[in-house]
Each structure stands twice: as C-alpha cells, then as structure tokens.
Amino acid sequence: MLPTKQQAIEFCNNTAKIADEINVKRGLPDNLSLGHYKTVAFCAEKIASHCQDLDPKKAWILGLLHDYGEAIEKTIPQTFHGTAGYDEMMRLGYDEVARVCLTHSFFDNNFNPQESSYDSQSIIRAQKIISEMVMDDYDYLIQISDLMVTGSEITDIETRLKYIANKYHVAEKTMENKYKKAKQLKEYFDKKTGQNIYDLVGITHE
C-alpha cells in the first residue's frame, strides 16, 4: 500500500523539517535532507518513466520517502534510519514504502554490524527482514537513484560512494564490493531503459 502524493509530501516535509533543523545546528547547509529526498524522487521517477513495467508516480513516492527514518536517526543516538523508517511506515500501513526505507541501504548485501556506527541489533534485524523479502525492481530503482545523489546534488555513483566511504569510514575491501554492485545496478537500468541512465537524470559524462 502507498500513501497518496499529498500524504507523501506531508510525510516528507515533516521528517525533513526535523532533520534539517539538526543539520543546520551541526553546520550543514539548510534544506540538505529535503533536497536529498526530492532529488532521489526525481531520479527514480525519471528512470521509471523509461521502463515499461514501472510506474513513475509510485517511483516518485518511494524515492521521496526512502529516508523517512532520518529524523528519528538524528534525534536518537545510534538509531538506524532504515529500521526506524520501516517500523514507522509499517505502523502507518504503507508496506511498500517501509521496504525501501530498509532495502535502499543494502544494495551490496553488506550487513556487517562491525562496519557500522548504528546499533548492531538494528542491522541484524534489517538482515533478517530483508532475507524474508524477494527484492523487486522498485527496491533496485531506489537503490540506484540514491546512489546518484550526493547530499542534494545529482552525481555519478563514484562520487556518491567516495562520500559514503569518507562519511562512514568504510573499509577499502567493503568499498570494492560496493563499487562492483553499484556498477551492476547501473548496467541493469541502462539495459532496462535502453540508454545510459546518466543521460536521463542529467549527469555529464564522457
């Protein structure tokens, strides 16, 4: 089940208000979180519009709400936004949003609690929930869309992964697998859309 477009906007604005207030207190740009949500939604909608079996409106809603748990993560130390967003969306009855809140963070299937600053039980729980799912193209779509948005800017996946490596101090070996999986995701949607998805979202490339 999905929220309506208007409901999605309200959910997005509510969580972004809290997240961005905290961002500003930490010296980050205002509207950083809101910009990220909107830009991921833009990328998801744009790619879905070139896939015969994907609904651009659904893609936009999922992209807009993929980080719904971020406000909780920023207010409660060590909370993982994936499980926080999953729990809240399941409570509200929006299971399709709940799953991308969780799956977008694990495009490389890395569930190692030792390589995370989050509560280890949240990561273990995320692994269990996802192991009981069958991933679909909307999960993959939000993963690749999130991988093309660094902060609130559309970038190539290499730039995004460098940002992740620096922000979370990810081990080099883990990053190698992330690059490999991210490249496979991009190739999958290049083939699915029949063109380079960088062109679809406006990324300049050689």
For residue 184, what are its two tokens? Answer: 């496979």
Mean pLDDT by 10 residues, the chain (206 residues): 96 96 93 96 98 97 96 89 95 97 88 69 89 95 96 92 78 81 95 96 76
How far apart are alpha carbons 179 and 174 in whole angstroms? 9
pTM, rounded to two decimals: 0.93
Instruction: Outline where DSSP puts E strands in the chain.
Output: 149-150, 153-154
Residues in the chain, total: 206
**What local confidence, expressed as pLDDT, does residue 168 receive?**
67
Phi and psi at residue 33, to the nearest 5°: -70, -45
- Domain coordinates in residue numbering, the chain: 5-196
Give CA torsion, residues 38, 14, 117, 131, to 10 deg. Answer: -70
Around 118, how many Cα atoms within 13 Å sit in the side-chain half-sphere? 23
For residue 170, what are its two tokens? Answer: 């990810």
For residue 166, what are its two tokens? Answer: 């620096």
Contact 92, 14 (CB under 8 A): no
CA angle 127, 76, 147 (to 5 degrees): 50
